[in-house]
Amino acid sequence: MTLKIIVMMKQVPDAEEIFIDPVTYTLNRTAARGVINIPDENALEIALQIKDKVGAEVTVISMGPPQAEEAIIECMGRGADRGILITDRAFAAADTYATSLTLAATIDKIGKYDIILAGESTTDSGTGHVGPGVAEFLDIDQVTYAESAEVVDDKIRVKRILEDADEVVEVPFPVLVTVLTGANIPRRATLRRKIDAIKKGIERWDHETLGLPPDWIGIRGSPTIVGAVKVPEEKKRASKKISLEQIPEMIDELFEKGIIKREDGA
């Protein structure tokens, strides 16, 4: 029996290229290039390493606008076998609940799976909440913040990195694993595989394919809303320019203000 792995991937605007319209406070997405969310690349790489070692069928799913297709092609170019784009205007403005529900419904429709992999958070919204939300909807176990993972019989063995400890856990299938940024070095896509992927095509599913009522998804299915947006108030700083010669003076000031303290506490 071939292992079945699903990788949840999101196309995000390149963080370096994001800019905010100063009047409307909205994200100017047209200016930013779409890239694969960084830890999702690491999640895909773990899936492909498992495929190399023990054999697996790797399906990449992504929820997003039609142009997210190029990110799925890139994943298939690296070695994923199947790509599904979950795209529908009705999914817009989904919060973590509605997003998790939509992804879980997609996985449910795919049917059989052993391992679900995803990046631990996205660089554009960064909640880290969608992975565990999907696991809860699917009623399966989860392992978060993985640095590496390998298949041992019918279990996955994961090294996870926590604030105060490194943990190794073993969990039977099916299981969802979220992967840390920098967990590995993702392989490059080959042109031949990319062409194959384009020929094969990407499946496109909408809310009807998934059998999700419109009031379960997008903004209507989201318990949280964005009430207002503000630009953070920056504390005005003096930005006092100091030359090498003025450093002693600056240090004096820091002592006088008590920012640096003398050894005798004065």
Restricting to residues 25-84, name those near other proteins by CB under 8 A. Answer: 25, 27
Q: Residue 36 Cβ, how far from other proteins at the closest point, in Å?
A: 17
C-alpha distance from residue 81 to each of 20, 61, 69, 197, 230 (Å)? 37, 11, 14, 8, 43
DSSP-derived secondary structure for 68-83: GHHHHHHHHHHT-SEE
170 or 196, CB closer to other proteins? 170
Does residue 23 bind other proteins (CB under 8 A)? no
Q: Residue 86 Cβ, how far from other proteins at the closest point, in Å?
A: 14
Q: What distance in Å separates the CA atoms of residue 125 and residue 139, rounded to the nearest whole number?
A: 25
Positions in 92-121 near other proteins (CB under 8 A): 95-98, 100-101, 104-105, 108
Do the beta carbons of residue 123 and residue 15 sit within 8 Å?
yes
Q: Residue 191 Cβ, how far from other proteins at the closest point, in Å?
A: 28
Q: Residue 234 Cβ, how far from other proteins at the closest point, in Å?
A: 8
Does residue 142 bind other proteins (CB under 8 A)? yes
Do the beta carbons of residue 88 and residue 214 sit within 8 Å?
no
Contacts of 218 (CB under 8 A, 6+ apart): 90, 91, 92, 93, 94, 98
Query: How is residue 154 written in tokens?
Result: 């019918």
Positions in 144-163 near other proteins (CB under 8 A): 144-145, 157, 162-163
Does residue 263 bind other proteins (CB under 8 A)? yes
* DSSP tag of 2: -
Does residue 124 bind other proteins (CB under 8 A)? yes
69 or 114, CB closer to other proteins? 114
* DSSP tag of 20: B
The stretch among 3-11, 46-54, 81-89, 169-177 that binds other proteins (CB under 8 A) is 169-177
Does residue 195 bind other proteins (CB under 8 A)? no
